[in-house]
Structure 1
Amino acid sequence: MFPLRKAVNILRIPCPNCFHFQRYATRKRFYRNTSIIQNEQNWEVTLDQRRLKTPNGKVLLVSSEPLARAIAAEWDSQKEYIAQPVMHLTALCNTALDNPGKLTSHDITSYLLNYLPTDTLLFHSDEEDELRVLQEQKWGAILDWFQERFNVKQEVSRGLSLPPVSTETRGILARHFLSYKFPALNAICFGAEALKSPILMLACIERRLDPKDAVLLARLEEEYQLIHWGRVPWAHELNQAELTARVAAALLVVQCSVERHSSAVKAPPGEIATQSNY
């Protein structure tokens, strides 16, 4: 499992671009402390004892204590201004609860299946031999894993034409995506869009890659060009850090949605400890 502490640390990295977001902030930080409380089988985040709510006024409820703690850490990391554009965990949970597009799990699954033929990993260079060899080396292992994991065959494109995706592959992936609850599926879509690759996002979920490695693979062609043409000292690193934060947030939501967390409740000596699941 991608460690919670590692994910929270990634999301807490100060962003040099936050000054840009602060210019458009509608409010300064108005709270001193953040915390979480349990609400039956769910968890809430509080700001100075006030319940955090979504843009539509719903109480922000999550089904996992680690996810609630990570959201609280995200709010706690805000400084003078609340930089909402970089608060990816909060945004993902708000979207899942408010569902402004009135989407269903089937809608998101159809979107991901239609996205698959445009997956970055399925397009290999037909003009630069050196780049194509690099793509085959770096992407080949992930494509092999993908085909073995889901028992499918997937072609790659040597140009701009879309590679075919068989009906069988679509069916297998549809069943897999629909096995996730809506908040997790929404996060999968968010991560796949950030990486421009449903395959890389699936590899992260299945613990084949961590977010940093996935972002490097997603940016493989860009990095190849930068080696040859040079880079702006800070801009590319900033973009990489932002993408990594997006993928880490999405992955954390997915893992907290599917993992069962339990804690033993201490009992007096001689009594059997009870088990609580959340």
Structure 2
Amino acid sequence: MSDWKAKRFWTSSAVLPRDGGFGIELDGRAVKTPAKRALLVPTRKMAEAIAAEWDAQEDIINPNTMPVTKTANSAIDKVATQHDEVADLLAAYGDSDLLCYRADSPEGLVARQAAQWDPMLDWAADTLGARLHPRVGIMHVPQDPDTLARLRARTHALDDFELAAFHDLVSLSGSLVLGFAAALDARDADALWTLSRLDEIWQEEQWGEDEEATEMAAVKRDAFLHAKRMFDLARARQ
């Protein structure tokens, strides 16, 4: 197995307007995606964040320290080539949204779910025009088709970069409602992440903390907060 690793070959980066967006250059050479497409992003702030990640690299390039670059690459190489499929995948969460599947016991958990999740369903009804209804148990009960159609239209309306970030907001939380709530600043992103872990937090309170599960939750939280940052960068129009 080869031990070859990419090394820093440039002195400085630059952000330049190009083709209706912004590109990043390293010593005058345009940065490309892994699929060899031009790395063009919709906002200057996103481009500046990517340039900062490249500037922060030292001798060896470490992609794990370049999350904005990674998500932008995904938006261009993956989401842009299958936008409708990705949007449909995410919109489908509306029919099985985490916030709608409730416990029938114990009373403390039932009450906590109602107190913390019902306000988010109310928010979705008021802001998104989509009233989702809670169910007791884990058996799937379809939501109203018109409601799902409205959520699907909103999801499809996101551009490639917004959708790439939105993918992680929804898939990590298990909730289309929480994904939209994070994207639209309904609440602090960290608070929304905590809402998505209500059941896990309850279990921890009853039985104690599992170290491995806690570590994994921390990784997912960081990814959720990064996705929120990416969504904001995608909308940081100038």
The TM tier, using the shorter chain, reads: 0.7 to 0.9
Alignment RMSD (CA, Å): 2.8
Indicate the residue corresponding to 2:20 in structure 1: 41
Task: Look up the match of 1:171.
Answer: 149
Distance in 2, Cα, partners of 1:100 & 1:40: 19
Q: Is the 8 A contact 2:23 2:31 kept in 1?
A: yes
Q: Post-superposition shift, 1:183? A: 2.2
How far off is 1:83 after superposition? 4.1
Instruction: Choose which of 48, 65, 86 in structure 1 pairs with 2:44.
Output: 65
Distance 1:35 1:49 in 2: 8
TM-score norm. by structure 2 comes to: 0.85
Instruction: Choose which of 209, 215, 220 in structure 2 pairs with 1:243.
Output: 220
> Which of 181, 194, 197 in structure 1 is aligned with 2:159?
181
Aligned residue runs from structure 1 range 208-227, under 5 A: 208-227=186-205
Structure 2: segments with no counterpart, 5+ residues: none
Structure 1 counterpart of 2:120: 142
CA contact (8 A) 2:97 2:177 kept: yes
- TM-score normalised to the size of structure 1? 0.74
Cα deviation for residue 85 of structure 1 reads 4.6
Task: Confirm whether residue 99 of structure 1 aligns to residue 101 of structure 2.
Answer: no
SS in 2 for 1:260: coil
Q: How many residues align?
A: 236
Query: SS at the partner of 1:209?
Result: coil
The amino acid of 1:256's aligned partner reads: L
CA distance in 2, matches of 1:133, 1:87: 41
Aligned mates of 1:86, 1:25 — CA distance in 2:
19
Superposed displacement of residue 203, structure 1: 0.3
Map 1:118-157 to 2 at 5 A: 118-157=96-135
Is 2:44 the partner of 1:51?
Answer: no
**Shift in CA distance, 58/151, structure 1 to aligned 2, threshold 3 Å:** closer
Residue 154 and residue 62 in structure 1: after superposition, are their counterparts in 2 closer, same or farther (change >3 A)? same
% same residue: 24
CA distance in structure 1 between the partners assigned to 2:56 and 2:200 by the alignment: 31
Report what 1:257 is aligned to.
234
Query: Which residue is equivalent to 1:88?
Result: 67
Counterpart residue identity of residue 218, structure 1: S
User: Residue 25 of structure 1: CA displacement?
Assistant: 8.9
Q: Which residue of 2 aligns with 1:20?
A: none
> Amino acid of the residue matched to residue 93 of structure 1?
A
CA distance in 2, matches of 1:78, 1:169: 46
Q: In proportion to residue count, which structure has more helix?
A: 2
Deviation at 1:82, TM superposition (A): 4.0
Query: How far did residue 146 of structure 1 move?
Result: 0.9
**Contact 2:43 2:233 survives alignment (8 Å):** yes
